Structure 1
Amino acid sequence: MPIILMAVLFGLAMDYAVFVVSSIHEEYAHGGDARRAVLKGSPLAFRVVTAAALIMVAVFAGFVTMQDAIVKPIAFALAFGVLVDAFLIRMTFVPAVLMWVGRAGWWLPRRLQRILPNVDIEGRDLPAPATQRDETPAEVARRD
């Protein structure tokens, strides 16, 4: 039973971690300020993680009502594990630690940076789009 629990909970925990950390990293890649990235990126991911966790808890809780003596404890442990992992660990501790460590949370050693490919999913290396605030009145008139 512990092996099955750990395998399923680890898989779900990695999904929730990807949602939370990728949302925060996307904000960090565009702004460069770690504290602001956590404050702006976390709420976006929290909706997805909350919905996914509640669905999984409901599914596992449904299995608790079964008469099988083997399935009941596994289902209860999975429901409880998802609740703790999603709400306590992923939505509380992970953003708190990323806020606490600041830029160091996104630091990559040079040696490892040379080995890994540069995958720019967030579009960090793309030029920033011109906004109307950056345009002068003459440029706006020419554009219109």
Structure 2
Amino acid sequence: MAPINIDVSEKLSQALPIYLGTVIGLSLLIMMLVFRSIWLPLIASAGFLFTVFATLGAVTAVFQWGWLGWLFDIHDPAPILSFLPTMLIGILFGLAMDYQLFLASGMREAFIHGKSATDSINYGVRLSRSVVTAAAIIMISVFGGFVFSHTTMIRPVGFGLAVGVLVDAFLVRLVLVPAALKLLGPAAWWLPKWLDRILPDVDVEGAKLERTIAHQ
């Protein structure tokens, strides 16, 4: 079985950059389409990469190097599972974009309806922070329960997902992304004119509908 495991591990390692690049590329396109901004998708995607690296680092430190092994009852540290990065990236991406959409939708709506760039960011965070916090706590509790499972394969998965949600929700989405957008100011909602013409306007905030009604 060892040669088979080595071969599978190599194949997954080769596919991982393509998989991650595809996920990031699609998220950039969808967020540009919805939020009409080039900086918001870039910052949100950079935040997701930070979450991925922090999560994989934490899993490696605990389960492969044995750090805090006494706390998590790890007596024999071993290399992490070959499929773990792929699994973590897929699940964490879905959760991260869910939290980001909650926050950015409120920000974009406020900006479209006349609030300043700074006020719109504050509004979006205030509007959605309780939802993001509650959702993150639920997921951390669920995933954290797997850390102390008797099944060796399940434990690093649960630990990685719990750490990933903790980092992404409370550090990346509620702190780093809003801070970066505030530093950009109005430029946070900038989209090149040529790109604005190419991308279809889905108008999720209903601004066009409001203008149409106002002119009737």
Distance in structure 1 (CA, Å) of the matches to 2:162 and 2:121: 27
- CA offset at residue 19 of structure 1? 0.9
Tell me which residue corresponds to 1:58: 141
Question: What pairs with 1:1-144 in structure 2 (closer than 5 Å)?
Answer: 1-125=84-208, 126-127=210-211
Question: Comparing both chains, which one has the higher relative contact order based on Cα–Cα distances under 8 Å and sequence gaps of 6 or more?
Answer: 2
Cα offset for 1:32? 4.2
Give the deviation of 1:57 after TM superposition. 0.5
The percentage of counterpart residues that share the same residue type is 50
Alpha-carbon offset, residue 65 of structure 1: 2.5
What RMSD, in angstroms, separates the aligned Cα atoms of the two structures?
1.8
Give the secondary-structure state (helix, strand or coil) at the position aligned to 2:113. Answer: helix
Could you tell me the TM-score, scaled by structure 1's length?
0.83
Q: Residues 40-60 of structure 1: CA distance to partner in whole angstroms, max 9, x if unpaired? A: 221111111111101110110
Gaps of 5+ in 1: 131-144
Structure number, greater radius of gyration: 1
**Residue 134 of structure 1 aligns with which residue?**
none
Which amino acid counterpart does residue 163 of structure 2 have in structure 1? F
Q: How far apart are 1:119 and its partner, in Å?
A: 2.1
